[in-house]
Amino acid sequence: MCGIIWPLKKVRVIDALPWLANYIRMRRRLAFGLMMFTVLFGAMGAGAAVSTGVIAKGTRWAMAWSVYDSGQPGPTLIVVGGVHGNEPAGASAAGQIWHWPVKRGRLIVVPRVNGSGLKDGSRFLPGVSLKTRDLNRNFQKTDSKEGPIGEGPIGEPARALWKFVSGHQPDWLIDLHEGTDFHQINSKSVGSSIIDVHSNASNAAVPLMLKAVNATVSEPKKKFVRLRYPVDGSLARAAHERLGAHAMICETTSKDQPRSQRARQHRLMVHALLTHLQMAQAGPHVLVGKDGFRVAIYDAGGVGGNGPRNVDRVLAGHAVVRRVGAADVRDGVLGQFHLAVFPGGSGSKQAKALAPAGRKAVQNFVRDGGGFVGICAGSYLAAANYEWSLGISNHKTFCKSIDIPKVGRKSMWYRGPSATVRMELTEAGRKILGDKKGAFDVRYHNGPIMSPMGKAGLGAFQPLAQFRSEVSRYEPQKGTMTGTPAIIAGQYGKGRVLCISPHPESSAALHAMVRRGLFWAGDKK
């Protein structure tokens, strides 16, 4: 993992005072450790403590929770996400906020309330009756048409969550959700809004939250607005009416926006509230803790299809995975990870979305020891032959434009729709990717045809796999794919670079091979 290395070897003390040398080394090491901990998490107060547990443990409704108790007097704020399983950004953001320390009061996070629904991509509680399947209608009601006023919570997950929430007596509660459209464009959706109870305390806080998130939204009609009142039966409304909490529902918009962007918007709103309450200690862009093999998957501009989701599946249960966007990269979040993965789509569009500052951030991350994996478009991005590419892998791509009779001028990178080709690992590839012998099928969709660039100062790449068949759309492409590298490995500064032209991540049978490649690139021991 990249980091700052204290130049201990440059410190010289006179040989007659070895005890002084040891003392200086000890103090510097202690200072370095404290500095790195403070940079990422802030200095934990003397009385601070972190506790974790599970609500409804041992049942299919199990929900993990975390409490960061600063040890200092202050508000209790509860953040929940994933109440609706088809709204994953809230769960993602809460999972990131899980790692935030606070300098006063308590921060309590329950990231995946409806874990079964999140797994299935279903809004509702799986396997529950129609009447009670919407968890966010199962809490105490004030305007019930189907039962006595005040009835609830209804159902095991609602009762378990309510027991936990009410037991902590929160001063504030934020429920992270997603709408399907922007409210200012489509009033039938509550997307891009904060729905709160309009208490005096909320009246002071919500405008600050809106200001923080709207500073990142360029289109006026897509900016966040304030709405009222949390729906009857919702956790937020019940928390306000039954517990006296200042409660709200923060709604991002899923339409045409990557999950990383929506999660970032949630983080900005929560962080603005923490700042207002004088609780914030870490910045809004802390995404992970210090444990585990940490992988950032780019999911924003230039990424298409199911690439991020497929990489998620490859790493499920094997790594701490976060989606990141171009703005996150420019904010410096890659320094929290061991590995960055750039999936399929368009390499040039990924480069454009990153902008020069983002591309520089990726280069610096790899140069300082981070790993890089480019799949299809990500391998174009890593190449050295475009003015927009990162230049971290010493390969070029077959991309020249040729005049085709009766067709016109065409670029040779395009070979048609998705197809199956044959690929075989080299001896070096079997050492890294697994001892898989002989040619095997893999999905291909216009990945780069790679060859040595010969860029000065950049080490040569090593082929880990070769294409044993090809696809082509135009006559000049024939014979240019078979025998060329399908997967290559290289070094850029202190970091490892793995470029994969086809899409083995889309085939479950090849997940173990891809995972070995990701572990190698991230230098997982």
What CATH number does the domain containing 432 carry? Answer: 3.40.50.880
Q: Is residue 284 part of a domain?
A: no
Inform me whether the pLDDT recorded for 37 exceeds 70. no
pLDDT, averaged across the chain? 91
Residues 253 and 328 in one domain: no
Of 342, 323, 324, 325, which Cα lies nearest the Cα of 383?
Answer: 342
Residues 243 and 301 in one domain: no
Contacts for 46 with CB less than 8 Å, ≥ 6 apart: 71
Residues 403 and 337 in one domain: yes
Convert the pLDDT of each residue in 339-389 to its tens digit: 999 999 999 999 999 999 999 999 999 999 999 999 999 999 999 999 999
Domain boundary among 276, 306, 321: 276
Convert the pLDDT of each residue in 222-276 to its tens digit: 999 999 999 999 999 999 999 999 999 999 999 999 999 999 999 999 999 999 9
Helix, strand, or coil (residue 322) = strand
Residues 406 and 437 in one domain: yes
Full domain range(s) for residue 33:
8-41
Residues 407 and 457 in one domain: yes
Domain count for the chain: 3
Residues 310 and 226 in one domain: no
**Type of residue found at 173:** L
Structure-block tokens of residue 177: 């959700």
Inform me whether the pLDDT recorded for 38 exceeds 90. no
CATH number of the domain that residue 193 is part of: 3.40.630.10
Q: Is residue 282 part of a domain?
A: no
Q: Is residue 191 part of a domain?
A: yes
Residues 267 and 343 in one domain: no
Of 145, 149, 113, 114, which Cα lies nearest the Cα of 131?
Answer: 145
What was the pLDDT predicted at 45?
62
Q: Is residue 20 part of a domain?
A: yes
Q: Is residue 287 part of a domain?
A: no
**Type of residue found at 263:** A
Kindly report the number of other CB atoms within 10 A of residue 483's CB atom: 11
Residues 29 and 120 in one domain: no
Number of H helices, E strands in the chain: 13, 21
Residues 266 and 348 in one domain: no
Inform me whether the pLDDT recorded for 513 exceeds 90. yes
Q: Is residue 283 part of a domain?
A: no
Residues 59 and 128 in one domain: yes
Contacts for 274 with CB less than 8 Å, ≥ 6 apart: 77, 100, 102, 107, 280
Question: Which residue(s) pair with 396 in the sheet?
Answer: 451
Cβ proximity of 111 and 94 under 8 Å: yes
Q: Is residue 2 part of a domain?
A: no
Inform me whether the pLDDT recorded for 145 exceeds 60. no
Q: Is residue 512 part of a domain?
A: yes
Domain boundary among 250, 276, 302: 276
% of the chain surpassing 90 pLDDT: 87
Residues 373 and 269 in one domain: no
* H-helix or E-strand spanning residue 50: strand 49-55
Residues 113 and 12 in one domain: no
% of the chain surpassing 70 pLDDT: 90
